[in-house]
Each structure stands twice: as C-alpha cells, then as structure tokens.
Amino acid sequence: MEMLSVKNLSISFGGLRAVDSFNITIQKGELYGLIGPNGAGKTTVFNLLTGVYKPDSGIIILDGENISGKSPIEINKAGIARTFQNIRLFKNLTVLDNVKTGLHNQYKYTTLAGILRLPSYYRTEKLMTEKAYDILKVFDLDKEAATLSANLPYGKQRKLEIARALATNPKLLLLDEPAAGMNPAETEELMKTITLIREKFGVTILLIEHDMKLVAGICEKIFVLNFGMELANGLPQDVLNNPEVIKAYLGE
C-alpha cells in the first residue's frame, strides 16, 4: 500500500525552478533514499512535504489523505515528522524534555489541570515520561535523560533529534542528512539504528544523504534529484550504475 504519493510537485524562487514536476511513490514500510549534488533541491522537497513551503503546483497524498498546502502543524498531525540538516533541538531543555515535547500531540490535559496540578496532570506526565524513556532506550540515550541537550556530544544530538521526531508517532519520517558531521563509526551505528527504528516503530522513512554507498546499503530504492528534476529512480544497483548519475553526482 502507498504511504506517500507525490505528483508533479513544483516550486520556483525568483523565477528559478527549484523543484520541477517531482513525482515519487513510497510504499508503507519502505526505506527510500533521496540523493543528488549540492543544490539539487533535496531539502526543498522536504520543505514542500512538511508545509514549510507551499508548492506552486502538485499534489501530496499521505496514506490516502491529501495534505497539499496544509500547514506544518497540520501535516505533522497527519503523520509526517522530520529532522533537519542543521540540528534543531531545544538546547535549554533536558534530553527527556526534548522527547516529551514531541509527545504533546498524543497526551493531553486541560490548562486548569496543569495550573492546579490536578491528578490528571500527574497521570499524563507519568505516561509521557515512561513513553519518552522507551524511545530514548532505542537510541541508548536513557542514561542521559537529565542532561541538557546542548551538553550532549554532536553524534548524540543527532540521535536525540530523531528520537524527538519519532515521539510524534509519525507514519512517514523524513531524515535530512542525519549522518552529517559524524565519523565513520558513528555513521555506521546510526545507519543500524535507522534500520532498527523502521522495524520497531513500523515507520516509513525517506532519507537524504550525500554518501551514495551508505544510502545504497540500507535503502530499498533511491531517487536521484538534479537541478530540481528526476535524474534516476529505482533499485540501488541500477542507480549506482547509471552513467548519468555518475556524471552528475560524482563529477566524472
């Protein structure tokens, strides 16, 4: 079954076509890679899918629901969560509280209960804390729950951002260069974690990365974007051996 269906998605900035007739279909449970040279339009696609940008044209269907033109909050509630190329955490909050912010779309109490600290407030907070710890354990961050996120090592900040996105209970998780700035050992560990969370949480994943071999190692399919247009799309072995991809992406 289709989790995401995008048809003829386009946007221009100042007369420049940043994304031109982007089409992609991702099945439920797939781990799909989106690659391309710098400036190809990959992050722009993510911004369109999450409502940061409004498309000039095109349709976005998420699990049967048309989310075209909706706000980022509406799209997140519909089931899309994302991370960013430049990490965006609440640096003044603890690791635990960062994840709990992602749970607020599922656990609620009234304003009055929060102000007066009624029993419903404490029950809800307890449930949220337990759920947040469950998520943190997947990323081996539970022992640092009380640490300010700003004090985490860079690689663990990357993991925490993914954990917080997962806390929103997404159907589709968009990861924008999650391995950026990591050393090879950290990258290998992260890729194993991404495979694990796909299996554990049953989430569909669209992954942006620069390392073609890395993407080919964990993704079932790869979409190559160049100058905002499709250059190639298919199985990893076919994409990696495509002469046009090699020329555009590797500069050969």
pLDDT at position 106: 79
Instruction: Decide if pLDDT at 174 tops 90.
Output: yes
**pTM of the entire structure?**
0.91
Is pLDDT at 191 greater than 80 in this prediction?
yes
- Going by their DSSP bridges, the two strands 221-226 and 172-176 should be labelled as unpaired
Q: Of residues 133 and 244, which shows the higher confidence score?
A: 133
Portion of the chain with pLDDT greater than 90, in percent: 72
Distance set, CA 37 to CA 10, 23, 136, 210, 243 (Å): 19, 18, 33, 8, 15
Model confidence at 114: pLDDT above 70? no
Residue 188 has pLDDT above 80, yes or no: yes
pLDDT exceeds cutoff 80 at 120: no
Domain ranges of the chain: 1-28+37-42+49-69
Sequence-separated (6 or more) residues with CB below 8 Å from residue 139: 159, 160, 162, 163, 193
CA angle at residue 42 from 95 to 75, to 5 degrees?
60
Q: What would the pLDDT profile of 93-109 be if each residue is shown by its tens digit?
A: 999 999 999 998 777 76
pLDDT at 42 over 90: yes
Q: Can you tell me the mean pLDDT for 165-192?
A: 92
Nearest in space to 187 (alpha carbons), one of 151, 214, 220? 214
User: What pLDDT sits at residue 252?
Assistant: 46
